[in-house]
Structure 1
Amino acid sequence: MNMPFVEPIKKRRLPRHFVIYLLVAIVVLLLMTFIIVRATRPSLPFHLSDYEESLRKGDYTRVYEIYNSTRLKRSELSGRLSSKTTQKLIKEADALIERIESDTMKRSLELLARAFDGTALSDEDIARIELDASIAGATMTSFIEEKTHFYLSEEIEENVYLSFMEQMARVPIFSHEYSQVIEKSEVLQKVREKLESANKAAREGIYHSEAESIRRLLASSEVAGFDHVVMYLEQRMAKARQSFYEEQMPYIRSDVEHNRTYDAQLKIKRMSGWFPDDELLNKYESICRERTPENIRNWNGPVEHIAIKPLIADSDRAFDNDRYAEAADRDLLLVVEFQRILEKLYERNYVLVDGRSFVSNEGIAIAVPCPEGKKPLCLVLDDFFSSEARVESGIASRLDLDEDGRIVGVVRDRNGTERMDRLFSAIGVVEEFIDSHPDFSFNGATGTISVVAMNGLFGYPLTDAQDQHWRDDASAYGFNTLKAIETNLDANNKKVKALLSALELRNWRIANGSYSRLAMDRASLQSISEDISKIEEFVEPVTGKLTILHYPYGIHVEFDKKKTALLAEHGYSVLSGYGTSIYSHQERGYVYVSKTLLSGQALRRPREHGINRFLKGADILDHANRP
């Protein structure tokens, strides 16, 4: 079909030169992209090879340029988005910086060591130290301050120190500070003399004395304006205080955990104002203020001691008219009677104090801290051991722990069944009373347990010999109750250690009541020595060193100086026997104290036994359960 009105379209070709221009433009664009990418791609300005070349040439100006440029670039790379390339460059920069710093510190210390050894430094050496200070300044300062410490600690001579400081004063960057040392050498000598006490304390590890000596020196006018010495003294005082803090904090923590808040408070006061922002120290200080009486005075006279023997936990069994009933009625207390005694003592303003609070570690009598308006009292759980005769008297056969970790007494009935209760032992009675009357105990004090160890500890034989002694003693008195009981010494040792941990937590002290309940007034020196040896061999490995001895049966040997000297030589700095009044006296290496035994007989004859000063026996006696 003819379409006369439509003009045919002809294809037009691009000019050849246009294609050439397009290809050239693409090449240029790619080249520019490559240049831009290459220019913006991260890289380091210098490499390890550049640094090593500068060292070979001795061009230290370039070394510092490499160091500063690399550090600047490293800082810049840290601000970029992380990538493998960036991380690789940062690692390379760190290695280069570390290498330069290490070499510079080594070179600087070699120069300073030469100067200290007396070698005169050249002007070139001084210039090198000046330049190196920009990299190793802290290391140099530490080296120089160490020599100041050696001088002031009397470890190097004055001429050696001053000669070294004269060379350091030539270095422009150190000139102002160390020229002052040369100019004030006489003052420096006086400071050294006055630091003698601090130096002695430091050598002996007495950090508080060191810190206080330095504090007093800093407060004097002699060191005012002496910047180098002031800085040294401040740093040394801070170090001594920190050392004292680290030494004392475990003790403070332990004191607070054991409710010995008065002791903890004394330790904290020694650091008063040193660490105002220390949260843990402030926490302990707050606890101590809350638990410790505000007004404390020193009690300078004798300290009252009362003693009781193991409590009767089962009165029906104790007073069943057998051959032990009379002794139980005479010597022992019932649980309710002991509770009444504690109540009367509390009403009369007695407060429990530790069994060693009145004597120093050297055996010298000292004043006893005591709350204002209170009278200090030491409680002794005397003659503490288990036997079948005692079980038959209604006494707990052993101690144990309840589910809360508290000490309980365990009563073994005639049919072999056991009952346990906190109140079956005087330990639990005391702890329960303190729980409800916390002000009856000062500084966490409870009492002293005077153990007799021939049958073991707390009702648990710890050796074959102790187990056999218990069984032989039972057989001698006609008891067959132990035949069916097997002894596991390993389990017993673990149990006793657990009991001792619980007792230690409540501040009970363990004392020696003699291993074999030896009547020391009639015993020979050899027998006493052998008895002590058994305590040291079989008891102290689990209890720790014992320093208190309560004479068996309360019969002292103060009239026999050879015997008391023997006891003192073995570390017993408190010796105690029965008496009817408050009494103590100082002897060589120990303090003797008299303790009053509270018993059934004492309650019936209070005047004869000297207990009227504490209570009225008639108010205490449990007539309903006694014969």
Structure 2
Amino acid sequence: MKHSFLTKGKILLFLTLIFITGCDANATQQSSATSSSKKKEQIKQIEQIERKERKESLLAKAKVSAQQYDYQKAITLLKKSSILKDEDIQNAIGTYEKQKKNLVTWTDKSKIPHLFFHSLIVDPSKAFDGDDMTQGYQDYMVTINEFKNILNQLYEKGYVLVSIQDIAKLNKNGEMVYQTIKLPSNKKPLVLSQDDVSYYEYMKNDGFAKNLTLDTNGNVTNTYINRKGEVVQGAYDLVPIVDHFVDKHPDFSYKGAKGIIALTGYNGVLGYRTSESDYGPNSNKPNLNIKKDRLQAKKVADAMKQEGWKFASHTWGHLNAEKVSLNLFKEDTSKWKQEVEPIVGRTDIIIFAFGSDIGDWRQYSNNKYHYLKSQGFDYYANVDASKITWSQLGTHYFRQARINVDGLRMREALVGENEVLKHFFDVKLVFDSSRPKAKTLIH
């Protein structure tokens, strides 16, 4: 989150200095030596305050890095300081060097879980109103209250958000190799992602946020239209909720990692109708503000990346990668790169829609893989909720299975059909009472 401030002390000193300067110009009886002395003293005080503020800002930045287990970054930041000899700086360096030694290497990189969500329901009364969309929302979405409760339980269980690139990376020879993740002994890594963050047109008036946008301070937030029809801004979906949670609990993030946002393109991205194919001047439903929307969407995406979010392709048209032909797959990928990539930037992650995949459990070797690899995709994700973790370190790629956290999976947990979620949170304590038949399922 971005913050800006100017201390009252500094303002007061500047005003005093200006006042004295003005008085000196008019007080002809005051000696120039006295005036000069006072100005020097005021300047000295201002410099001392500025030095103190620089130190406090530096220590605050280093503290956040240390809280997020990046002790080396904190130490390096402090050692590069022009006030290195300061006692507080030296004490902080010593503390972080000791804490760094207490970190433990996460040994089994193949056993890191990945949870994913869809758009969060803000107003259950609108989502579960009995129309033809209700069942889909019950099955595939969670409410804001459910998500916030899940976050708290994940944190209490010691989970820490990591990026998929923290797990494995390509080396200089183009081979995918595991990376070193070091955490306290009571912490464990977790990957988080959210699918379809486009705020599709079909969700309008159904109790969801309208888009992701920036507030007056440049922070990522949501636009939401409440029951009164008022347009308001706030944390009405996963991204700003996680941002706020990490602000409050920096130790929930490993080196600033947040999550992966998987995007289609056919209905635009992040709540903006940016698709030239569907909203360009030659389409059936042209968006007269398409250039402005693209610009705004890019600003939001850039701000999200600064906050630790990654973007992934979810295919342009939300295709089933297993079933479509290679030619259609190529056309779709080309559209994604033409319409989505300019907004969110290049990505090396593809998260398959419908939980599909381009191969079975064996190492990738088919034409679809070779095509995607040629397009710069090194990370692949499917869906498998039959176990807590599954991943595969290929020679030139990394593949990870995700667990869907939604109404379907939670209902299965409540009736004992699938208990994978119990490793992450207590479904009974999370399940929203506003869901249809909630009381029956919980009891």
Q: Provide TM-score, normalisation by structure 2.
A: 0.72
Aligned to 1:452: 264
Aligned to 1:465: 277
Q: Helix, strand or coil for the counterpart of 1:611?
A: helix
Q: CA–CA distance in 2 between the matches of 1:540 and 1:401?
A: 20
Aligned to 2:104: 297
CA deviations over 1:101-125 (Å, ceiling 9, x no partner): xxxxxxxxxxxxxxxxxxxxxxxxx
Q: Indicate conservation of the 8 Å contact 1:353/1:378, yes or no.
A: yes
Q: Indicate conservation of the 8 Å contact 1:605/1:617, yes or no.
A: no
Aligned to 1:545: 346
Q: Indicate conservation of the 8 Å contact 1:391/1:411, yes or no.
A: no
CA deviations over 1:563-582 (Å, ceiling 9, x no partner): 22322222211101111220
Give 1:517 shift: 0.7
| Cα distance change of structure 1 residues 603 and 317 upon mapping to structure 2, 3 Å threshold | same
| Cα distance change of structure 1 residues 523 and 321 upon mapping to structure 2, 3 Å threshold | same
- Greater shift, 565-574 or 334-343, is seen at 565-574
Which ranges of structure 2 fall in alignment gaps of 5 or more residues?
Answer: 1-57, 438-443
Matched, 1:587 2:394: yes
Aligned to 2:213: 400
Matched, 1:306 2:115: yes
1:535 to 310, 315, 336: 336
Give 1:461 shift: 2.1
Q: Pairwise mapping of residues 373-384 of structure 1 onto structure 2 (< 5 A)?
A: 373-384=186-197
Give 1:297 shift: 2.2
Q: Indicate conservation of the 8 Å contact 2:261/2:310, yes or no.
A: yes
Given residue 548 of structure 1, which amino acid in structure 2 is its aligned partner? Answer: I
CA deviations over 1:474-518 (Å, ceiling 9, x no partner): xxxxxxxx99xx641232122112212321221011111111111
Q: CA–CA distance in 2 between the matches of 1:556 and 1:542?
A: 26
Q: CA–CA distance in 2 between the matches of 1:500 and 1:571?
A: 20
| Cα distance change of structure 1 residues 624 and 337 upon mapping to structure 2, 3 Å threshold | same
Give 1:466 shift: 3.8
Give 1:390 shift: 1.9
Aligned to 1:610: 420
Question: How many aligned residue pairs are there?
Answer: 359
2:180 to 360, 363, 367: 367
Matched, 1:431 2:240: no
CA deviations over 1:171-211 (Å, ceiling 9, x no partner): xxxxxxxxxxxxxxxxxxxxxxxxxxxxxxxxxxxxxxxxx
Q: Indicate conservation of the 8 Å contact 2:312/2:349, yes or no.
A: yes
| Cα distance change of structure 1 residues 493 and 289 upon mapping to structure 2, 3 Å threshold | farther
Q: CA–CA distance in 2 between the matches of 1:527 and 1:332?
A: 29
| Cα distance change of structure 1 residues 349 and 585 upon mapping to structure 2, 3 Å threshold | same
Aligned to 2:320: 519
Q: Indicate conservation of the 8 Å contact 1:602/1:617, yes or no.
A: no
Q: Indicate conservation of the 8 Å contact 1:264/1:288, yes or no.
A: no
| Cα distance change of structure 1 residues 529 and 285 upon mapping to structure 2, 3 Å threshold | farther
Q: Which has the larger radius of gyration?
A: 1
Give 1:447 shift: 0.9
Q: Indicate conservation of the 8 Å contact 1:258/1:444, yes or no.
A: no
| Cα distance change of structure 1 residues 300 and 453 upon mapping to structure 2, 3 Å threshold | farther
CA deviations over 1:395-442 (Å, ceiling 9, x no partner): 2121112223222222346996533321x1111111122222222112
Q: Indicate conservation of the 8 Å contact 1:265/1:288, yes or no.
A: no
| Cα distance change of structure 1 residues 558 and 293 upon mapping to structure 2, 3 Å threshold | farther
Structure 1 ranges of 4+ moved more than 4 A = 256-265, 267-272, 275-278, 280-293, 413-417
Aligned to 1:44: none
- Greater shift, 544-553 or 490-499, is seen at 490-499
Q: CA–CA distance in 1 between the matches of 2:296 and 2:191?
A: 27
Aligned to 1:38: none
Aligned to 1:172: none
Aligned to 2:306: 505
Which ranges of structure 1 fall in alignment gaps of 5 or more residues?
Answer: 1-252, 473-481
Give 1:368 shift: 2.5
1:596 to 386, 403, 409: 403
Give the % identical residues.
Answer: 23
Give 1:457 shift: 1.5
2:124 to 298, 312, 315: 315
**Alignment RMSD:** 3.4
Given residue 599 of structure 1, which amino acid in structure 2 is its aligned partner? Answer: D
Q: CA–CA distance in 2 between the matches of 1:487 and 1:555?
A: 35
Q: Helix, strand or coil for the counterpart of 1:531?
A: helix
Q: CA–CA distance in 2 between the matches of 1:454 and 1:609?
A: 35
Matched, 1:347 2:156: yes
| Cα distance change of structure 1 residues 271 and 621 upon mapping to structure 2, 3 Å threshold | closer
Give 1:278 shift: 4.4
Q: Indicate conservation of the 8 Å contact 2:264/2:336, yes or no.
A: no
Q: Helix, strand or coil for the counterpart of 1:496?
A: helix
CA deviations over 1:314-343 (Å, ceiling 9, x no partner): 211101101000110111000000001011
Matched, 1:409 2:229: no
Q: Helix, strand or coil for the counterpart of 1:608?
A: coil
Given residue 224 of structure 2, which amino acid in structure 1 is its aligned partner? Answer: V
CA deviations over 1:504-557 (Å, ceiling 9, x no partner): 221011111111111101011112222222222222223221011111121122
As a proportion of its length, which structure holds more helix?
1
